[in-house]
Chain A
Amino acid sequence: MKEERNLILEAYFVVRKRQPTTHYPLRTMSSRFIVLSLFLTMFASLLVLPAAAQDVETEEPVLREVSDDEVNEVAKDLYCPVCENTPLDVCPTKACADWRELIRTKLAAGETKQDVFDYFVLQYGDSALARPPKTGINFVLWLLPFIAVALGLVFFARYMKGLRQDDPETVTSASGVQDVSPEPAPDDYSARVEQELKGK
């Protein structure tokens, strides 16, 4: 309790730009007075700040103007619950127009993008989101591509590893013909092209 009060006092003096405290022994001042004055300051600031904001926006304090771009910014990551596979920001149907108005209202009321997402998930399930949350079966989905690629890599690496043991010089082809690996000399590119053009 005492510590807490000390903290409050400290905060108070910070606000008062650290006036020298040594000249006023704390105990002589009524602690009730200090708390009271603190509350008064806070209350005053509450009164003053919204008034200042109002001066700038000349709007009602809670509602603000939400531009179409802001609505689209949220709507593009939501998928229309009725039309298949259409992002909400471009869907031309009436239902989607209503949903966009809903987003606008919510944003105007001060809700964040995440709040709007949460609302849509609550109402229509995870499938309303363009990016499904990484929970439950969605997490399995999220993992599967990685697993698939990793498995492929393992398979591939093992296959290649087995090959490195082989002698690269003489390999017998299935048709019984011995095919050696003739590495052309570095500068015979044109000869190679010529040969390919003639031969094939």
Chain B
Amino acid sequence: MIADLGFFALVIAFGVSIYAAVAAWYGNRVDEPRWVESGRNAVILVFPLVALSAGTIIMSLLNNDFSIEYVWRVSSIDMPTYLKVTSLWGGQAGSLLFWNLLLALFAAVVMMRKWRVDREFMPYVIIVISMTQVFFLGISAFIENPFTRMTVIPPDGNGLNPLLRHPGMIIHPPMLYLGFVGFVIPYSFAMAALLTNKLDDRWIRTTRRWTLVAWLFLSLGLILGGRWAYDVLGWGGYWAWDPVENASLMPWLAGTAFLHSVMIQEKRNMFKMWNMFLIVMTYCLVILGTFVVRSGVISSVHSFAQSAIGPFFFAFIVIMFLFSAYWMTKRREDLATENQINSFLSREAAFLYNNFLIMAILAVVFLFTYYPIFSELFTGEKGFVGAPVYEQATAPLFAALLLLMGVAPLTMWYKTSAKRLEMSLLWPAVATTVIVGVIFALGIRYWAALLGMWIVIFSLILTLIEFWKGTRARMKRGENVLTAYGHLLSRNRRRYGGYWIHIGVLVMAFGIIGTEVFQQQTQLNLQNGESLTMGNYEMVFNGVERFPGPDDLLITEADVDVFYNGRFVKNLNPRTELYTRTGQPMTIPAARSTISEDFYVLLVNWEPTSSTEATFRVYVNPLINWVWAGGLIFVIGTLIAAWPDPRKEKVAEAKRERMALGVGD
């Protein structure tokens, strides 16, 4: 049987991973490079084995082999082919296997690309990656085994969870997982640096692109998740501070702090311990996130105890944390630095403020997310923190971070004179105040929104000025604006890509302020032909239809015409879908989007809908599309920053050699 082959491959991969770790360790210990090379080959071999295993699951899904429990659970005969393939990550067992596949892929790529350059790190990189791989393969092979058989073969499967049958949901989990898995690589290099006691910034430079790419995928996962929520979940928003969302936000936050603070180490050789700590924390949050996303641990301590994988994950995180902490303590003297921050107004101090704010947000999110567990442990009663509390607690911190985003790039390394800083801040501040004054004059009186907009516009102006100054400097050499700007970007991708990321975040923040503060909503029951009015919009209800959809779907679809200022603008079909087999309802909104706002209509199934009347929930979401546009800018910025540049790589290589010779930068 094909599934037996898959399981067999999985067990072999497990054994090979153990071998890789042991061989690398032994080879390093007896100083026998052949053993280390054998370990490397073993790491590379794991990928085809896991790929074979995942391939058999996909084959079984395509062949409707319901003798396999996982296939029965997530698939059904009449599901479209592409959904059958993507069902690989539609359930817990499958998604863990998918995690394994991605890790094996990344590990193989690292082994092939970085082998010669960072040879001395390699034994330890192999050990750390393999330890992680062994853990996840062990879980896949022996605890959450996707190849488990059914005692009785059912004629048809359950079908994929309806919520997951959306293009956004098909691409969103792989993005998150790529992000999660990607962070394993910088972590393993950090550990290698610790264990070899080569604690300069080499491990950071080597893994810079890995970190950025992991961070990019995690960001993409978060943005796509938000879009998916907005398109499918039917509650008019994109972020609910759900534990599962938070579980992927937390590693992102830690990773963001890491990406910023490594720059201090690269430039000033400081904060080595802190950077180690950040990458260890990111790694632990990644493992925790993987676990939380797929299990109902937050809902109750009891489900944690019942969950087969819970204790294993917990033990693994503790072991890896203690392992990292032990080596950090052991190397604390080598991690110390004699360099110090000289001024509150310096780039390094600004990075530190950034880290402080991000850590504060992370602490709040962590505390609130795991509060139900703490509360149940200590009081026996299940506690809960809802979205409004998260917003209240994090909004001031995010606002400070946005302000810092604009001001920090103006500071210089070592020291910036307060006067200079004031001079460069004065006119942008005046301009921003004028703009916000205009917004005020237009009738917006809500102070939090005005303050938020002030910060966003101020930071945006400052960032654009930075671009302009850089471009102008190059234009002095006779280049035109576009060439000058292009050169600026390509010569310092990291900085100017980073500025684009900042602009993306600011545009998103503008959209978030708009939707959070100015969202309007109403709910009304309409008879056929009646209409409702909200703001400048009028919505006429033309009728409702019920018909069977593909699979076991029962669709109820309303037909409404939207008028803006009395002019017809769009016909919309909001609907509810009922998966009759599982009884799971879904509310699919319809929206009329413009750059300034969305008119977003939900067909609400509060009462059984008859053919002549229906209940609608209508939202006006101002500036919502700025959130998506900002997300796009953000991704483009990250791509600019992460794009390979062979010329610069050579320079970096030369620089590494210079540093090794003690010339310094």
Chain A contact residues, CB within 8 Å of chain B:
67-69, 72, 77, 79, 84-85, 87, 90, 92-93, 97, 100, 125-132, 136-138, 141, 144-145, 148-149, 152-153, 156, 160, 163, 166, 168, 171-177, 179, 181-184, 186, 189-190, 193-194, 196-197, 200
Inter-subunit contact B342/A171 (CB<8 Å): yes
Inter-subunit contact A174/B412 (CB<8 Å): no
A-B contact pairs, 13 of them (CB 8 A): A84-B299, A131-B386, A145-B360, A145-B393, A163-B340, A163-B341, A173-B338, A173-B664, A175-B269, A179-B664, A183-B412, A183-B416, A193-B474
Rounded to whole angstroms, the CA-CA distance of A72 and B416 in the bound complex is: 52
Find B243's partner among A85, A145, A200 (CB 8 Å cutoff). A85
Inter-subunit contact A145/B352 (CB<8 Å): no
Find A137's partner among B342, B383, B651 (CB 8 Å cutoff). B383
If the complex has contacts A137-B378, A190-B473, are A130 and B388 also in contact, measured as CB distance less than 8 A? yes
If the complex has contacts A129-B384, A174-B338, are A183 and B415 also in contact, measured as CB distance less than 8 A? yes
Q: A-facing mask of B404-432, CB < 8 A → 1, else 0?
A: 00000000111111001001000000000
Rounded to whole angstroms, the CA-CA distance of A72 and B659 in the bound complex is: 64
Which residues of chain B are near A160, meaning CB under 8 Å? 341, 344, 349
Which residues of chain B are near A144, meaning CB under 8 Å? 367
Which residues of chain A are near B368, meaning CB under 8 Å? 141
Inter-subunit contact B367/A90 (CB<8 Å): no
Inter-subunit contact B384/A127 (CB<8 Å): yes
Given contacts A186-B423, A189-B473, A193-B473, 14 further A-B contacts (CB under 8 A): A68-B525, A68-B617, A79-B386, A90-B236, A93-B585, A141-B371, A145-B364, A149-B363, A156-B352, A156-B356, A175-B662, A177-B664, A186-B420, A193-B470
Which residues of chain A are near B587, meaning CB under 8 Å? 92
Which residues of chain B are near A163, meaning CB under 8 Å? 340-342
Rounded to whole angstroms, the CA-CA distance of A156 and B386 in the bound complex is: 30
Inter-subunit contact B476/A175 (CB<8 Å): no
B596 at interface by CB-CB < 8 Å: no
Q: Top 8 closest A-B pairs, CB basis?
A: A130-B386, A181-B414, A190-B473, A127-B384, A90-B235, A68-B523, A168-B342, A177-B664
Rounded to whole angstroms, the CA-CA distance of A67 and B615 in the bound complex is: 12
Which residues of chain B are near A189, meaning CB under 8 Å? 469, 473
Q: How far is the CB of B587 from chain A (nearest CB, A)?
A: 6
Which residues of chain B are near A153, meaning CB under 8 Å? 356
Find A126's partner among B383, B416, B474, B615 (CB 8 Å cutoff). B383
Q: Which residue of B lies closest to A166 (CB)?
A: B340
Inter-subunit contact A190/B476 (CB<8 Å): yes
Q: Which residue of B lies closest to A136 (CB)?
A: B379
Find A181's partner among B382, B415, B524 (CB 8 Å cutoff). B415
Chain B contact residues, CB within 8 Å of chain A:
200, 234-236, 240, 242-243, 268-269, 296, 298-299, 337-344, 349, 352, 356, 359-360, 363-364, 367-368, 371-372, 374-375, 378-379, 381-389, 393, 412-417, 420, 423, 469-470, 472-474, 476, 487-488, 491-492, 495, 521-525, 576, 585-587, 605-606, 615, 617, 648, 651, 659, 662, 664
Which residues of chain A are near B576, meaning CB under 8 Å? 92
Inter-subunit contact A125/B381 (CB<8 Å): yes
Inter-subunit contact A127/B382 (CB<8 Å): yes
Inter-subunit contact A173/B488 (CB<8 Å): no
Which residues of chain A are near B495, meaning CB under 8 Å? 196
Which residues of chain A are near B393, meaning CB under 8 Å? 145
Rounded to whole angstroms, the CA-CA distance of A172 and B269 in the bound complex is: 11
Rounded to whole angstroms, the CA-CA distance of A174 and B201 in the bound complex is: 12
Rounded to whole angstroms, the CA-CA distance of A69 and B532 in the bound complex is: 13
Inter-subunit contact A97/B385 (CB<8 Å): no
Q: How far is the CB of B463 from chain A (nearest CB, A)?
A: 15
Inter-subunit contact A183/B414 (CB<8 Å): yes
Rounded to whole angstroms, the CA-CA distance of A130 and B241 in the bound complex is: 11
Q: How far is the CB of B398 from chain A (nearest CB, A)?
A: 13
Q: How far is the CB of A70 from chain B (nearest CB, A)?
A: 10
Q: Which residue of B lies closest to A162 (CB)?
A: B340
Which residues of chain A are near B356, meaning CB under 8 Å? 152-153, 156
Inter-subunit contact B659/A175 (CB<8 Å): yes
Which residues of chain B are near A85, meaning CB under 8 Å? 240, 242-243
Inter-subunit contact A100/B522 (CB<8 Å): no
If the complex has contacts A173-B339, A183-B414, A183-B415, are A196 and B387 also in contact, measured as CB distance less than 8 A? no
Find B417's partner among A136, A166, A183 (CB 8 Å cutoff). A183
If the complex has contacts A197-B491, A197-B492, are A92 and B341 also in contact, measured as CB distance less than 8 A? no
Rounded to whole angstroms, the CA-CA distance of A127 and B487 in the bound complex is: 56
Which residues of chain B are near A131, meaning CB under 8 Å? 386, 388-389
Rounded to whole angstroms, the CA-CA distance of A156 and B354 in the bound complex is: 12
Inter-subunit contact B379/A137 (CB<8 Å): yes
Inter-subunit contact B606/A176 (CB<8 Å): no
Which residues of chain A are near B236, meaning CB under 8 Å? 90
Which residues of chain B are near A77, meaning CB under 8 Å? 386, 388
Q: Which of A128, A145, A190 has the most CB of B within 10 A?
A: A145
Which residues of chain B are near A152, meaning CB under 8 Å? 356, 359-360
Q: Which residue of B lies closest to A85 (CB)?
A: B242
Inter-subunit contact A87/B387 (CB<8 Å): yes
Q: Which residue of B lies closest to A101 (CB)?
A: B606
Which residues of chain B are near A93, meaning CB under 8 Å? 585
Which residues of chain A are near B659, meaning CB under 8 Å? 175
Q: How far is the CB of A124 from chain B (nearest CB, A)?
A: 10
Which residues of chain A are near B243, meaning CB under 8 Å? 84-85
Rounded to whole angstroms, the CA-CA distance of A183 and B360 in the bound complex is: 32
If the complex has contacts A145-B363, A193-B473, are A172 and B235 also in contact, measured as CB distance less than 8 A? no
Rounded to whole angstroms, the CA-CA distance of A188 and B388 in the bound complex is: 48
Inter-subunit contact A127/B383 (CB<8 Å): yes
Rounded to whole angstroms, the CA-CA distance of A198 and B385 in the bound complex is: 51
Rounded to whole angstroms, the CA-CA distance of A197 and B469 in the bound complex is: 13
Which residues of chain A are near B352, meaning CB under 8 Å? 156
Which residues of chain A are near B234, meaning CB under 8 Å? 90, 92
Inter-subunit contact B606/A100 (CB<8 Å): yes
Which residues of chain B are near A179, meaning CB under 8 Å? 268, 339, 664
Inter-subunit contact A87/B386 (CB<8 Å): yes
Q: How far is the CB of A160 from chain B (nearest CB, A)?
A: 6
Which residues of chain A are near B473, meaning CB under 8 Å? 189-190, 193-194
Which residues of chain A are near B389, meaning CB under 8 Å? 130-132
If the complex has contacts A68-B615, A166-B340, are A173 and B651 also in contact, measured as CB distance less than 8 A? no
If the complex has contacts A92-B605, A130-B389, A196-B492, are A171 and B338 also in contact, measured as CB distance less than 8 A? yes
Which residues of chain A are near B417, meaning CB under 8 Å? 183
